[in-house]
Amino acid sequence: MQSMLINMKNKAIYPGTFDPVTNGHVDIISRAARIFPELTVAVASNKMKRPYLALETRIRLLEEAVGHIPGVKVVGFDNLLIDFVIEQNASIILRGLRAVSDFEYEFQLAGMNRKLSKKVETLFLTPSENLMFISSTLVREIAALNGDVSQFVPPCVVTELNKRRDETDVKLV
């Protein structure tokens, strides 16, 4: 059996819906960029989740939040993650784990991706302790109830959520 050595020179893909991007996401991205010379933040269109923010908006917000980090690029994708990873000539899927409750789902995804391609490995990073409780869903819920989300998301996201709340009566969750 041939083993795959994880080489930190490999290109990594950090996929997610990022609806919206949070400080936890930014933390994972900035730390991963110090490990991998090339990190692609892959924003899933994920129509099954019916995202609140359009794909183009999520990409723009991520570019504003992490565009200053060397080696990081942000792109959208709408196909199977493993196919996207292979198309990008990457060998690592990077996932964030906030809590034990995330692990079971992430473990299933990693196993499925391993079945789909033996050439791609999944690695996990946890966010900094002060950010572990933040989720995009909670941010949307707080914003929908006119709460202050500024400590949980980059300033560009605060501006976007406030603009959307002012423009529409549509719930953010």
145 marked as part of a ligand binding site: no
Residue at 60: amino acid letter: R
**Under a CB-based contact definition with an 8 Å cutoff, are residues 94 and 39 in contact?**
yes
Please give the structure tokens belonging to residue 46: 């994920």
95 marked as part of a ligand binding site: yes
172 marked as part of a ligand binding site: no
68 marked as part of a ligand binding site: no
25 marked as part of a ligand binding site: yes
From CA 84, how far away is CA 125, in angstroms rounded?
21
98 marked as part of a ligand binding site: yes
Active site (catalytic) residues:
25, 49, 98, 136
**Under a CB-based contact definition with an 8 Å cutoff, are residues 154 and 23 in contact?**
yes
From CA 45, how far away is CA 90, in angstroms rounded?
20
126 marked as part of a ligand binding site: no
81 marked as part of a ligand binding site: yes
Instruction: List C-alpha distances in Å: 3 to 6, 120, 121.
Output: 9, 12, 11
From CA 33, how far away is CA 93, in angstroms rounded?
13
Which neighbouring-strand residues pair with 43? 16, 76
125 marked as part of a ligand binding site: no
- Tell me the binding residues: 17-18, 25, 49, 81, 95-98, 106, 131-137
- Tell me the binding residues for ATP: 17-18, 25, 96-98, 106, 131-137
- Tell me the binding residues for substrate: 17, 49, 81, 95
